[in-house]
Amino acid sequence: MTDTTDDIAEEISFQSFEDDCKMLGNLLLEVLQREVGAQMREKVDRYRTLAQSACSMRLAGIEDMANLLEKQLASDISKMSLEEALTLARAFSHYLNLMGIAEVHHRVRRQKNVASLSKSCDDIFYQLLQRGVSPDQLYDTVCKQEVEIVLTAHPTQINRRTLQYKHIKLSHLLDLKDRPDLTSEERDMVIEDMVREITSIWQTDELRRHKPTPVDEASAGLNIVEQSLWKAVPHYLRRVSNALKKHTGKPLPLKCTPIRFGSWMGGDRDGNPNVTAKVTKDVSLLSRWMTIDLYIREVDSLKFELSMNRCSDSLSKLAHEILEQESASEDRHSWDHQCYSTNQVKQQAAALPTQLPARADQPSCTECNVGHSHYPRIEIPRTGLLNQQDGPESPRSPMAKSPSQNSLRNASLIAKRKMFAESQVGRSSFQKLLEPKPTKRSAIAPYRIVLGNIKDKLMKTRRRLELLLEDLPCDFNLSEYCDTSDELIEPLMTCHDSLQSCGSGILADGRLADLIRRVATFGMVLMKLDLRQESGRHAETLDAITKYLDMGTYSEWDEEKKLEFLTRELKGKRPLVSPSMEVASDVKEVLDTFRIAAELGSDSLGAYVISMASNASDVLAVELLQKDARLAVSGEIGKPCPGGTLRVVPLFETVKDLRGAGSVIRKLLSIDWYREHIIKNHNGHQEVMVGYSDSGKDAGRFTAAWELYKAQEDVVAACNEYDIKVTLFHGRGGSIGRGGGPTYLAIQSQPPGSVMGTLRSTEQGEMVQAKFGLPQIAVRQLEIYTTAVLLATLRPPHPPREQKWRNLMEEISKISCQNYRSVVYENPEFLTYFQEATPQAELGFLNIGSRPTRRKSSTGIGHLRAIPWVFAWTQTRFVLPAWLGVGPGLRGVCEKGHTEDLKAMYKEWPFFQSTIDLIEMVLGKADVPISKHYDEVLVSKSRRHLGDELRMELLATEKLVLVVSGHEKLSANNRILRRLIESRLAYLNPMNLLQVEVLKRLRSDDDNKQLRDALLITINGIAAGMRNTG
């Protein structure tokens, strides 16, 4: 299990962390006394004390006493009533969350109090210059760096969004309590606010009662941007720019951004039938709507700030042109042509502000330390899909409609009502009395005229998007709204240049520069949406097409015949799919998705990812379906489709596919059409994705890590052979078993040459909130991404020193894989053992994701998704997927006399060191007595021997890992992380014992809803204590 603190665990100070944990615990006990009574409060405190004593005994090596105390605790829990069990589960779950809040708070506080942080831009830039990198090379590399962080909706975020917001508020209150200028009275008031917030948390249902829709998941991702990343990005870019100026003499250009963001939320349809073409379109429009709404707020603030008259000739000219256009527009348009132009007249000459916008009086950049959002909650326009079941309710926008208003007749009625309600009859004349005419505005600030014009276009753009989201007609002049980021940046840059030329650089580099940087980073969509679909669905679609054309069955052809057909059709100019062709619903959905992709284009969408890719034909099939859809759409609208074609990205996931990845890329690039297409349409850039989850479930973590390393080497070599640049896209999960771990460590251990200034990586589930939920933490994570990629580019990690090291890795990997598969796939008892010993079957009740837990209906492990596979073992503290097979592999080479070689590999080869360190971290979180308790209570006697054998293997693996690393005990190289883990055990262990008892009762009374709730709360609590899920 990776820990959310792993990247910067050394940045926490225990000086006051434990005091805050104690304070929050006492406040929770105070709330419990009031909410559930003194007797229950005393029980909770007693169980915590008993568990703490057992932990202390075990840490001191007094195992017998520790076992005795834990048995007493388990016995007491088994005698509890259902109501008491539910209360205990809730109390300990909330306390583990409170500890997590305190931990994050102290990481932030530590950052503020340290003059120079490790891995910061200032630190790494200095190191690189000392190691011989020239200032010019450093500057150019940073400016050309392209990192994209892709947020996904993988179902590993346990906490409801409502509780996430309340946790953030508590974090802000902790920050406020630390202020040295507070009086004792003010500090007491802050404590009272904490009590209110904890009371509110206690009285809130912690369980999701309905599965989120894909649009709900996308809305949650957009909220992360609005609440955190929107504030963090300018702060982060200033930090990069200041460090560059300090070390190279040149700041980061305003329109340059080393990091951008992508999303899979609403685009990932692999195994998720709920993500349809309409969902993708709605999510894309919603993302654009939120972007425009945020820009409107920023422009409002700028209008109040830039009130000066002095400006450059170019800005003066632009302002006068705008005034002339507005004057001409007033003469040309009559009132009855303005029915669909809400607020048009109101916004046309908004030079005289009537109300101070939010945060116009605050500093422009350093907003990361403010304890609340600077923006009101965005009023997201809702359709039937926008069902916000969770989180604070957004006020209904004027565009909202009820689900019952879906008929054509009602839609028409709504449109007519809108026309009447938005008519400017009478209003326009009254507005003119309040606003000066253009001829009288010669002395009004030119910046406000330009910014007012920008706001006017943004308002019209937002209005158009609302109509599109509501499926209502919108007849706007395309020149009247902002469609591209260039259209927005150009007048902003004119304002910036004008301020600089007039000696007002201090103003130019404030809020205005921040807005320009936001536009450069977020564009017009916040996060471009990737599409993902499984390769077999494309083959089914081509089957339908070839059968319709009497060409046979595409999927039955061999690879060469497929490539010949696909290449021939790609070179042709005629459409392949007939509009009259009738197809099955699954095929229609695939075709509809490509049609939506053609309509939206690369301005809104990012890459098209093909999961389970294994052949060159998988890529060309998508290229053909994409080309055909674009031909059809452009023919209908009578002009080219917007934007360019989407990048088609093969995702290699299984060990078999990883081994063939290089060959597939070579085959693709050997095809003239494809190579020319990459050079012409994608700037000679090939993107390849490697998957960590399925490879780990397929062969074990050690073998997966080595196969991923070799696959990346081979893909890079293949692209180099054809002089094509490559970007590797890493599909990393949160846990070690799914490729998770510290970002910095992961990037620094990649093969040399695989990170050449470009990188894409997923951030999934609970990791999104943990790494980017607070602006201060987000700034630090963005900085770590930047410096890690920079180091890997300019000073790549060392390759294996000699061929012998590679041979040893092959041998360890082979033995490890054989052992892993013999247990997981070849032992006929293992599947039943897994189902009995873990809450895997019950995880489906959590309602944490919109997609099913299995790709197919089979009950075997093969079709179980990697997330529930890892999640289930995390709950029992066995964390088996991350270490199984490692021990036999290491033992096999050590017995042949290679122990010293392994020690040398650990010291000198970053990849091997990273792999061993992550396994050691996982082993530090495993708990043999707890996992044994699950077996003793839940597993049939005939299968308990399997658990005993696995626990013996776990202990043997620990010893072998310590021999290789040279550490005396687990996590000896990360004392603070070990201490953080130990501090949670007094609350985590009782949660596990309680979960076992609840599972035992539930399996004999599976319709008991209260028992099910109690189980789900224990799952929440254990996930909070382990600091991740899957």
Residues with catalytic roles: 154, 697
Neighbours of 290 (CB within 10 A): 24
Which residue, 101, 24, 99, is CA-closest to 773?
Answer: 101
Taken as a whole, the chain contains a residue count of 1030
State how far the Cα of 845 lies from the Cα of 906, in Å rounded to an integer.
Answer: 43
Give the HSE-up count for residue 320: Cα atoms under 13 Å, Cβ half-sphere: 9
867 near 738, Cβ under 8 Å?
yes
Give the HSE-up count for residue 306: Cα atoms under 13 Å, Cβ half-sphere: 36
What is the DSSP code (8-state) at residue 723? T
Neighbours of 681 (CB within 10 A): 14
Q: Which helix (H) or strand (E) holds 229?
A: none
Which residue, 112, 273, 88, is CA-closest to 178?
Answer: 112
| 350: its two tokens | 């908004």
Q: Which helix (H) or strand (E) holds 131?
A: none
Where helices occur in 526-654 by DSSP H, the ranges are 535-548, 559-571, 585-600, 616-637
Terminal-to-terminal C-alpha distance of the chain: 8
Q: For residue 315, give the 3-state DSSP assignment.
A: helix
| 702: its two tokens | 């050690």
632 near 672, Cβ under 8 Å?
no
State how far the Cα of 1 lies from the Cα of 846, in Å rounded to an integer.
Answer: 20
Instruction: Let me know if 199 is exposed, middle or buried by CB neighbors in 10 A (0-12, 13-18, 19+).
Output: middle
972 near 37, Cβ under 8 Å?
no
State how far the Cα of 1009 lies from the Cα of 849, in Å rounded to an integer.
Answer: 20
Instruction: Let me know if 556 is exposed, middle or buried by CB neighbors in 10 A (0-12, 13-18, 19+).
Output: exposed
State how far the Cα of 865 lies from the Cα of 879, in Å rounded to an integer.
Answer: 16
- Between strands 725-731 and 647-652, the pairing is unpaired
Helix, strand, coil fractions of the chain, as percent rounded to 5: 65, 5, 30
Phi, psi of 121 (to 5 degrees): -60, -45
Q: Which helix (H) or strand (E) holds 665?
A: helix 655-670
Residue in the structure block whose two tokens are 């949660």: 991
Instruction: Let me know if 1009 is exposed, middle or buried by CB neighbors in 10 A (0-12, 13-18, 19+).
Output: exposed
668 near 626, Cβ under 8 Å?
no
111 near 181, Cβ under 8 Å?
no
Provide Rg for the chain, Cα atoms.
30
Which residue, 873, 802, 804, is CA-closest to 833?
Answer: 873
State how far the Cα of 394 lies from the Cα of 392, in Å rounded to an integer.
Answer: 6
State how far the Cα of 792 lies from the Cα of 730, in Å rounded to an integer.
Answer: 15
Which residue, 289, 227, 239, 287, is CA-closest to 262?
Answer: 287
- Between strands 647-652 and 605-611, the pairing is parallel
